[in-house]
Amino acid sequence: MSKHKQNAAAGPNNWAVYLLAALLAALAGFFAVYVNFTSNGNLDRDTDLTPPPGGAATAPSGGGPLAGLNRGDMATFLLHKQPKDLPAIDFSDSGGARVSLSGWQGKVVLVNLWSTWCHPCLEEMPALDRLKAKIGDPAFDVVAISVDRGGIEKPRKFLDNVDARHLALYHEGSGTLGPKLRMVGMPTSLLIDAEGREIGRLVGPAEWDGADAVRLIRAALAENRGGS
């Protein structure tokens, strides 16, 4: 067989080897991302990973008075066994003044991190707006913080476009807030207790005005009032 014919015959085999190598590299990259994700505290040591009865696909149910309330629309809400301390964070209000999350001490707060380029955020924002109105409790607030780079006008227009009547505009465009709060997806919502600690979080959009979310929020409010 001529050298030319030998090269031609070997060609398909070489391509098969290259394809297999590329596939293995892609799988290695996937597992590297997965290991990095789980080692960043998202599945941390005090998170209960015991499968729920019946093997339903839910987030860990945590402990305390909210245990088991992450079901239905809240099935992906990760409830910590114990509330977690948060770093001090600050951001801008609609007038550009700097405010701190510590200013909400004494209230149960749902902090929502969002951006104008995030389509799920567009879908979720009206539900957050309705949640605040539906709870209607001065001891509760929804603090939706835009993490768009740049100025505040684009987030302001976004809230106007979705007709958010009950949500105040907050913005942090420096790019530091997401890493501080270990945000791994958009949107991310953190439920904060009256002492400023994280009760749990949900990554991705949710039906925040639905019965399951309202039940969860009201349980947190009851706990804030000593179980009354």
Q: Which pLDDT score, from 0 to 100, does residue 59 have?
A: 52
Q: What does the pLDDT read at residue 6?
A: 47
Closest CA to 186 of 206, 159, 209: 206
pLDDT score at 191: 98
The architecture that CATH gives domain 53-224 is 3-Layer(aba) Sandwich (3.40)
**Cα–Cα separations (whole angstroms), residue 53 to 11, 50, 56, 57, 211:** 54, 9, 7, 10, 22
Structure tokens at 133: 């109105």
pLDDT by residue (tens digit) across 78-92?
999 999 999 999 999
What pLDDT score does 46 carry? 38
pLDDT confidence of residue 155: 95
Cis check: omega of the bond before 187, within 30 degrees of 0: yes
What are the boundaries of each domain within the chain? 1-42, 53-224
The ranges of the chain with pLDDT < 50 are 2-10, 12, 15, 17-19, 21-58, 228
- What pLDDT, on the 0 to 100 scale, is given for residue 56? 38
Length of the chain: 228
